[in-house]
Structure 1
Amino acid sequence: MSRDLVSPVVVGRRRELGRLRALLDQVITGTPAVALIAGEAGVGKSRLTQELAAGAAGRGVRVLSGGCVELGGEGIPLAPLVDVLRALARSTPADELDRLLGPARREFARLLPELDPAGTVGARQDGSAAQLFEHVLGLITRLAAQRPLLLVVEDLHWADRSTRDLVAFLVQTLRELGVLLLLTYRSDELHRRHPLRPLVTGWERVRSVERIEVGRFSREEVAAQLQAIRRTAPGAHFAAVVFERSQGNAFLVEEILAAVDGGADPGDLPPSLRDVLLARTERVSEAAQRVLRAAAAASPRVEDRLLEVVVGMPEAQLYPALRETVEHHLLVVDHSGRGYAFRHELTRDAVYEDMLPGERVRLHAAYGAALESDPTLLGDDTGVAATLAHHWYAALDLPRALSASVQAGRQAAAGYASAEALHHLERALQLWTRVSDAAERAGVDWVGLNVLAAEAAWAAGEINRGLSIVDQVLADPESVTDPVRQAHVVERRAYMLRALGRDEEAGGQLREALALLPAQPLTTTHAAVLASLANSLMRIDELEQGVEVARSAVEAAAAVGATAQQADALITLGHTCGYLGDAPSGLTALHDGLALAEREGLSGVALRGYINLSDLLEMLGRHAEAADAARAGVELAARLGHTRSLGAMLVGNLAESLMRLGRWREALDLVTESLADDPSGVFASTLLLQRGELQGWQGAAQAAESDLREARHQFGGGTDAQFTAPMTFIEAELARAAGDLAAARQHVRAALDRPIVGQGVRYAWPLIWLGMRIEADAAAGEPSNTDIRQRHDALQALAVAIPRNATPAQAYYALTTAEAARLNGSGEVAAWQAAVTACRAADEAFPLCYSLFRLAEAQCGTTPSDTSAAGATAQECLRLADDLAATTSHDVRALARRARLRLEQSSSATTGESQSQRQIGFRLTDREREVLALVAEGCSNGQIATALFISPKTASVHVSNILAKLDAASRTEAAVLAHRLGLLTT
């Protein structure tokens, strides 16, 4: 039985290997691919994967692999990722590992503690799966930048939900990277309700995903397998018998051959696979069978020290028995060299299922007792609590199962596996009434356990499930008799309501929670309820009351030492005060809250602080300071793994400030590169709206409309003015530019008919200006139209009524007044001079450019016309318009031709070019010019990425934008156009 049962050569599979090698060729050239390898248990999926991996390694491809592991019917959280991190940690020099892991090292150490030898990572539980996924994507990007990568995830049918979510994320986001993601799963395991099934169905429709079904061997291939193993041709009868019994399953062929080699009669083999496997185990000694049964209960592998304790044999008896199981190809030494696993999971299943129930209970109890006494017996596995929970539950020791389940839930939550945390905590809730001293065992009472489970549900994205858990507690008045405790539970419920966008309802809940609390003594719950209520009031624009509540929250939090609530309340107070017109107090509070959050390591609160600070500074017209605050927030978001979420929102804030300052090319580059990371929801919407507005002003109507459509789709059905108002502005401006004044007017009117309060005032001002501009345009063709006069009066009254506490609002008021003068045909020069002055004070580039054009137009219209002043004004307008690549350059040039104004050619224009050619050149951003130069040199996306220190995916997005702007069908055509238009001179 010492002969290897595995064929030394790969039998058959030529077609499957050919398809996989073609995908590998594709990846080596920089195009990503995903391969799904499906097949029944034992058919040869792992052998096929091993053959590809060996060939890939020989071609210089980095190979990393991990497997999903089943434990008592549940997958071990993120087991494949832990495998990959462990392999990297043990095969990479320390300095190189630091560079590869980057800012995520501390976060990855929550999954693999050996990455943090100093033990500085605590049990923080404020991480999210989205953060972890971003860190994983960053790691893969850095790995693929060095050389192509083959990333293997085996046995996906056993994956826990966190692993399934991670793999789904990678399938969606691994674009323009030299990565082959290889996924294996048992197709016979995917029953109708299996959670992997809808994912696989969806992946099969993705163009970059190829599904490869590994079938059973033919009669000839079985004969070839037997010949390769035995190194001699099998007899025709024997080959036929093996084929009939195995039905072409490669693993079963090996097991039948092993049974025959062990003395079984080929004509008298058991009828089923299970019986064949059990017959093989029965041919070893009783001691070896005892070892096999103990190993089967461990699932999926077992450390030798742990097995020794559970089996209870002396070394002199244990190791001969272990050697016997290995020689008979039942167990194999695992990859660590310190433990054992079954050669195939099917054998383990057969042995485990064949045991008597009492025998299984005894073995699980033995494992529980051994690990409880010495957790290091599990080796370097990080899932001690989850393993204990499994063994105690299987051993029917419910008190210990309860305790271990709570601990496993806490550990899973700290390790980014919120769905698995919820599973463990809900099991603990099920066990609660069956354990007499449950609170002592769990280390938390019934209410606390429910809150933990609800928070795990929220973190796992199952917010409605979290609400149901909390509602179950609140529905039983006897479970929460302490008013402070009840208020805490209500506050948690309001937090979930706010996450669902139900801000009004959340505010009502928090008022109820506040009413429950006694005035004294103050507690952390007082601070939490007040801080949360202040935030809710700010979100629903009840700003005056929000300020009062926020101040109370700051005082309560400071009194009880609740620094997180104090920092959060200070940020809310600052933002709210600023929007109410008290900018000095608002900025002071915001800076104090942000400093406190950073000092205490409250990263999530600090990120919110940067978002609110940059927003408030931008509202006040302090664009450069706003850009600095947003940039600092972007850097923090990248370190924390929030690039695709809060980081994207901060990039949107940064882009807005740069846009107001006239740094349009820089803003477009930032937005484009952030969108290349595939943010979604409101985070994508905020970026798309910034780019859509810019593209509209640059005359790229089709691109602006596309961004607007996608922004609406990503935003969903929300009503937040900071999203809906810019959407309306872009839509109305595009209609106005296209000459459809009626549609443009309808969009503006629909937005301004709603109440304008709180933070909505800021977003109403551009619409008021645009509304008056539309009426002024209409009045040029219908000077006596009374409807226009009525709309003018309504807009003017609105402009007078709403606050204008900051320079941008004052600039828009001046613009509105100037448009009214244009409509009325009187006082235009003075009005537009006032608008120019106000726009300069607000440092608003495009409104200034537009005001200069209108001022030059008004100066030409005086009697006699002031051509000297008009020429100087038009010249300044042209310089600014050309720098922005704004369509105003067309307008001012047309004015110059009509009024015979002498204009000098813009310094950035190329002599001999047409105006449209110049406009194309101006609209290319600095980054796009760099990319275009490399395209003209014949560089691939991967080479561009390396040269510019960006990802291949980002390079691809830039190339696509360049082709669209140049209206080029190919990279070659783009290069030709670039040379002809003189776009490569810089």
Structure 2
Amino acid sequence: MTRAKALTRRALAQLDEARDPLTCAWFQLKLGLLTEEAGKGDGWAQIAKAQELVRGLPPSAVHAEVLSSAASWGMVHRPGREALATAVRAVELARVVGATVIELGARVTLGTLLAQSGDLEAGLAEMARARDEADEAGLTSVVIRAATNIAVELELAGRWEQAAAEAARAARVARERNRPNSYAGALASHAEALLATGEWDEAATLLDEAKGAARAADVRAWVALLRAHLAHDRGDQPRLVLAVEEVVAALGSSPVVEPQKAVALRHFTMVLAARRGDLQEARAELARALREGFRPGSYPQAWALLTAAAAHEAETRGLPGSAHGRGPVLDALRRAARQLPRPAPVWEGHALLLEADLARAAGANDPRHWEAAALALEPLGRPHPLAQARLRWAEALLDSGTPRRQAPRHEARRPAAAQGSDSGRSPGDPGRFPEDSGRSPGDTGGSPGDMGRSPGDAGRSLAGTGRSPGELLRAAGAAALRLGAAPLRAEAEALALRARIDLDDKPAADPAPTPQALPAAFDPAESFGLTRRERGVLELVAEGLSNRQIAERLHIAPKTASVHVSHILAKLGVAGRGEAAAMAFRLRLVTPQGAAVPGPVR
């Protein structure tokens, strides 16, 4: 690639733009493509130069290729009306001059832009016709590109089985015709569909193969992002860190990264900060993502980022210092969600997940929100988010035994993205978190109110669905086990231990438990084997104390405090103090006020 760039630059240096503008324009397009493939830029400067060179000249194949390149660049970086109009012009001009290869490529771009604009069926049909005509003409690159783009658009519409089949077709053609980079891209598209449908082992195999075949920087980055996705959901921290590093290396010095990749990278960078226990850096990464905004085509990655941010706010609720600034963060998440499209039922499901986590983060963990999310996701064939919703639904049912303020039913059912909790502020930049405006920390003003339930309601099914906490937990735990989603399985097991539910029982054999049925002396820390001293130390870790401060508080040696902390981390299966504190609050090992849950002396 380096040699190709050098030869292209040498050719441009020897050519006279005034005498041979078409040849110069052609070389500019090739230079732009090489620049983008190397991760050294987005290639737009070269496309713009080529447009300038052909402006005012008679129609030609080069002129058609310039328009087609501009439309393709717009499809990736700035999808919208302008890119769509450019694609239409490229197709028309290519037909006029008889440039069949360029015409078919431009039709693939046109079909993709039509699908992105909301006319999915028309876009898929245009791409399929171009793919079939290219196949008859033996135009391998067009066939592979069309099949891959069809797969991507099918994935966005939630039609994963069709997407997997189309991506497999593209991979087969690329392999047979020795196109390694296209093969890697098709494998990645196939793996993305399999990740959605829960076929994680097969997806991992495809991604390993794609990593070895990928040549261009953008494909290497895409493969690495999917590997990060898989590592995140499996709880494999080392592989997640490595995959994020691979993404950064692949994208290189490119001044403009594709929106999808930019948002996904922000997501995983935020997740890594959260897992380190660095709440402020996680919030800062979110703020940067919101300032940059979510451009067309990046909404799947945006939904994932917003939901992860809301879940992190919910899981750190009660940690020392976490309440300060939470209200503005939740407000910012709501404003961003209101701007995201929901073109298919799967994205409605993600919006409901976000709504439920926003309510949980605000202290109103309403079972009805998780019920709505779970029921929306059930028919869609996405086992991991469905298992997450079922787990949280069970948790909310078990937690709802404490009487709470009754919220109006219409308010509790409103989507979080539509609730609007700006408290009279101007919308402003959604990437900037506004001040609290005098609210108490964590009070977002737009979350549904807590539901008023009698203690006995906690174990009963909701809204006539017949779901009990035991049934929901067993379904979530079984899905997590099948997927290899270690964090989800660990949470299901911990919650089951706390509620005295056997995850291996059949649903019919387990009557729905209620908080009153639990022994009064039940200690959730007992399931982790924590001693009374370790519970006391965990309480102080959750307060944010250092080993020396813990030693001073408990009148023990700093080395002894360090040993206790090490034992706690090992028993909880976490890597750091921040993660231990978050887990302690989430699993009720300590109370939000910092007092350890009482347990028997051992």
Q: TM-score, normalised by structure 1?
A: 0.42
Partner of 1:462: 4
State how 1:294-373 maps to structure 2 within 5 Å: none
1:592 aligns with 2:129: yes
Give the drift of 1:676: 4.9
Partner of 2:406: none
Partner of 1:494: 29
Superposed CA deviations along residues 187-211 of structure 1, whole A, max 9, x for unmatched, are: xxxxxxxxxxxxxxxxxxxxxxxxx
**Gap change, CA 1:679 and 1:498, over 3 Å in 2:** closer
Give 3-state SS (helix, strand or coil) of 1:802's partner: coil
Give 3-state SS (helix, strand or coil) of 1:490's partner: helix
Give the drift of 1:589: 1.5
Give 3-state SS (helix, strand or coil) of 2:369's partner: helix
Kept in 2, the 8 Å contact 1:867–1:901? The answer is no
Partner of 1:697: 233
State how 1:521-532 maps to structure 2 within 5 Å: 522-532=59-69
1:512 aligns with 2:52: yes
1:661 aligns with 2:197: yes
Give the drift of 1:712: 2.3
Kept in 2, the 8 Å contact 1:775–1:788? The answer is yes
1:880 aligns with 2:479: yes
Relative to its length, the structure with more strand (as a share) is: 1
Letter aligned with residue 867 of structure 1: G
Q: Which moved more, 1:585-594 or 1:552-561?
A: 552-561
Kept in 2, the 8 Å contact 1:855–1:870? The answer is yes
**Gap change, CA 1:702 and 1:568, over 3 Å in 2:** same
Give the drift of 1:894: 1.0
Give the drift of 1:614: 1.6
Superposed CA deviations along residues 55-102 of structure 1, whole A, max 9, x for unmatched, are: xxxxxxxxxxxxxxxxxxxxxxxxxxxxxxxxxxxxxxxxxxxxxxxx
Residue in structure 1 matching 2:304, options 762, 766, 769: 766
1:745 aligns with 2:283: yes
% identity of equivalent residues: 25
Q: Distance in 2 between matches of 1:785 and 1:695?
A: 29
Residue in structure 1 matching 2:326, options 762, 782, 788: 788
Residue in structure 2 matching 1:870, options 457, 465, 469: 469
Kept in 1, the 8 Å contact 2:185–2:214? The answer is no
Q: Distance in 2 between matches of 1:510 and 1:546?
A: 16
Partner of 1:474: 16
Q: Distance in 2 between matches of 1:599 and 1:657?
A: 27
**Gap change, CA 1:816 and 1:489, over 3 Å in 2:** same
Give the drift of 1:832: 1.2
Kept in 2, the 8 Å contact 1:652–1:687? The answer is yes
**Gap change, CA 1:798 and 1:677, over 3 Å in 2:** closer
1:622 aligns with 2:189: no
Kept in 2, the 8 Å contact 1:491–1:509? The answer is no
Q: Distance in 2 between matches of 1:721 and 1:856?
A: 36
Give the drift of 1:786: 5.0
Q: Distance in 1 between matches of 2:265 and 2:336?
A: 20
Partner of 1:835: 373
Partner of 1:893: 493
**Gap change, CA 1:461 and 1:881, over 3 Å in 2:** same
Superposed CA deviations along residues 303-340 of structure 1, whole A, max 9, x for unmatched, are: xxxxxxxxxxxxxxxxxxxxxxxxxxxxxxxxxxxxxx
Q: TM-score, normalised by structure 2?
A: 0.68
Letter aligned with residue 465 of structure 1: L
State how 1:325-724 maps to structure 2 within 5 Å: 461-475=3-17, 477=18, 479-480=19-20, 486-487=21-22, 489-501=24-36, 502-513=42-53, 515-518=55-58, 522-643=59-180, 645-676=181-212, 681-718=217-254, 719-724=257-262
Superposed CA deviations along residues 686-736 of structure 1, whole A, max 9, x for unmatched, are: 323222321222222122212322332233233223333333323322333
Kept in 2, the 8 Å contact 1:745–1:774? The answer is no
Give 3-state SS (helix, strand or coil) of 1:753's partner: helix
Kept in 1, the 8 Å contact 2:29–2:47? The answer is yes
Kept in 1, the 8 Å contact 2:260–2:301? The answer is yes
Superposed CA deviations along residues 497-521 of structure 1, whole A, max 9, x for unmatched, are: 2331343313422432453234xxx
**Gap change, CA 1:695 and 1:906, over 3 Å in 2:** farther
State how 1:159-174 maps to structure 2 within 5 Å: none
RMSD of the alignment, in Å? Answer: 2.7
**Gap change, CA 1:514 and 1:668, over 3 Å in 2:** same
Ranges in structure 1 where 5+ consecutive residues have no aligned partner: 1-458, 481-485, 908-914, 917-986
Partner of 1:295: none
Q: Distance in 2 between matches of 1:806 and 1:621?
A: 7
Q: Distance in 1 between matches of 2:49 and 2:378?
A: 46
State how 1:135-284 maps to structure 2 within 5 Å: none
Give 3-state SS (helix, strand or coil) of 1:815's partner: helix
Give the drift of 1:841: 4.6
Partner of 1:301: none
**Gap change, CA 1:507 and 1:542, over 3 Å in 2:** farther
* Aligned residue-pair number: 440
Superposed CA deviations along residues 639-698 of structure 1, whole A, max 9, x for unmatched, are: 12123x221121111111100100111111222244355757443333232223212222
Partner of 1:368: none
Kept in 2, the 8 Å contact 1:488–1:529? The answer is no
Give the drift of 1:588: 1.4
Kept in 1, the 8 Å contact 2:47–2:66? The answer is no
Q: Distance in 2 between matches of 1:906 and 1:698?
A: 25
Letter aligned with residue 147 of structure 2: Y
Give 3-state SS (helix, strand or coil) of 1:474's partner: coil
Give 3-state SS (helix, strand or coil) of 1:779's partner: coil
**Gap change, CA 1:843 and 1:817, over 3 Å in 2:** same
**Gap change, CA 1:854 and 1:782, over 3 Å in 2:** farther
Partner of 2:571: none
Letter aligned with residue 748 of structure 1: L
Kept in 1, the 8 Å contact 2:29–2:66? The answer is no
Give 3-state SS (helix, strand or coil) of 1:500's partner: helix
Could you list the runs of 4 or more consecutive aligned residues of structure 1 that deviate by over 6 angstroms after TM superposition?
A: none
Letter aligned with residue 378 of structure 2: R
Give the drift of 1:559: 3.4
Give the drift of 1:638: 0.8
Kept in 2, the 8 Å contact 1:607–1:633? The answer is yes
Letter aligned with residue 545 of structure 1: E
Q: Distance in 2 between matches of 1:812 and 1:503?
A: 34
**Gap change, CA 1:466 and 1:689, over 3 Å in 2:** same
Letter aligned with residue 892 of structure 1: A
Kept in 1, the 8 Å contact 2:365–2:396? The answer is no
Q: Distance in 1 between matches of 2:289 and 2:269?
A: 11
Q: Distance in 1 between matches of 2:33 and 2:209?
A: 30
Q: Distance in 1 between matches of 2:224 and 2:171?
A: 17
Letter aligned with residue 684 of structure 1: R
Structure with larger Rg: 1
Q: Distance in 2 between matches of 1:856 and 1:623?
A: 28
Letter aligned with residue 30 of structure 2: Y
Give the drift of 1:564: 0.6
**Gap change, CA 1:839 and 1:717, over 3 Å in 2:** farther
Q: Which moved more, 1:697-706 or 1:660-669?
A: 697-706
Letter aligned with residue 862 of structure 1: S
Kept in 2, the 8 Å contact 1:852–1:876? The answer is yes
Letter aligned with residue 658 of structure 1: L
State how 1:10-21 maps to structure 2 within 5 Å: none
